Amino acid sequence: MTIAAFFDIDGTLYRNSLMIEHFKKLVKYEVLDPALWHSHAKKTYNNWDKRQGNYDDYLLEIAQIYIDSMKGLNQKQMDFIANQVIQLKGDRVYRYTRQRIHWHKEQGHKVIFISGSPSYLVEKMANKYNVIDFKGTEYLTDENDNYTGEIIQMWDSENKQKAMLSFKKKYNIDMEHSYAYGDTNGDFSMFQMVGYPIAINPTKELLQNIKANEEIKNKIQIIVERKDVIYKLNADIEIY
């Protein structure tokens, strides 16, 4: 049997969202009208930045703006900008998570990315960190390689569970001795499926669900990385 380590990317490895970074680059290179950011996405972002909104809701709203903006754009034309995102931002990761990826490789574990970010960004991030396999949100294209505005999402708990079951079959993975890393409620099913779940800078909603699930609560590690300090906490922490 194979031991695997499943990593979410946005907020777990990468210290922001690859999708949002790509959106900003599309605006910067004038592929998208700057009004899309200033009239819609910026307000949502600022509400979260001022801690006046829920993080999961913020990501979902930004994701919908992004999906709508991508409709009609050509897949091949996006490749250069996607490369720019990884080249310029790909090292902006949490130290703890980067160290864990390195540790799992040393142990001979299969490292796999499962992320809600677009698959064309997740693939490039996987290549950068020499990760064996990955699954991201699929943005569908038409016969001319133009994005249709349709997706097969990968940021929700149900689809991440399906992805893990697929990888389990593909690599004959021993889930009881495997690891999962995530930060939002979309990663909860990943925690349920492995013997060693690790929540990294978890959202309030995720912490609440962890505390309400006795099985997860008893086996999970909670990691908080702030500035140059890494905190290891138990699931009995107070939530405010």
Residue 10 maps to a domain: yes
Residue 192 maps to a domain: yes
Query: Which stretch of 4-8, 35-39, 87-91, 206-210 has the lowest confidence by average pLDDT?
Result: 35-39
How much is the pLDDT for 17? 87
Domain of 161, in residue numbers? 4-233
Residue 217 maps to a domain: yes
Task: Give the bridge partners for 232, in sequence order.
Answer: 223
Residue 212 maps to a domain: yes
Residue 93 maps to a domain: yes
H helices present in 71-128, as ranges: 75-89, 95-106, 119-128
- Residue 189 phi, psi (nearest 5): -65, -30
The 3-state DSSP class for residue 165 equals helix
| Tokens 């064309």, located at residue | 120
Q: Please state the domain count of the chain.
A: 1
190 in the Ramachandran plot: left (φ > 0), alpha (ψ -120 to 50) or beta? Answer: alpha
Residue 238 maps to a domain: no
The mean pLDDT of 132-158, rounded to a whole number, is: 91
To the nearest whole number, what is the mean pLDDT of the chain? 89
Single pTM value for the model: 0.91
From residue 169, alpha-carbon distances to 2, 31, 133, 166 in Å are: 11, 40, 13, 5
Render pLDDT for 105-123 as a digit per residue (tens, 0 to 9). Answer: 999 999 999 999 999 999 9
Residue 239 maps to a domain: no
State the CATH number of the domain containing residue 133.
3.40.50.1000
Query: Which stretch of 21-30, 165-174, 195-204 has the lowest confidence by average pLDDT?
Result: 21-30
- Residue 33 phi, psi (nearest 5): -65, 125
Q: Which two tokens stand for residue 99?
A: 């160290």
Angle between helices 55-70 and 42-49 (to 10 degrees): 160
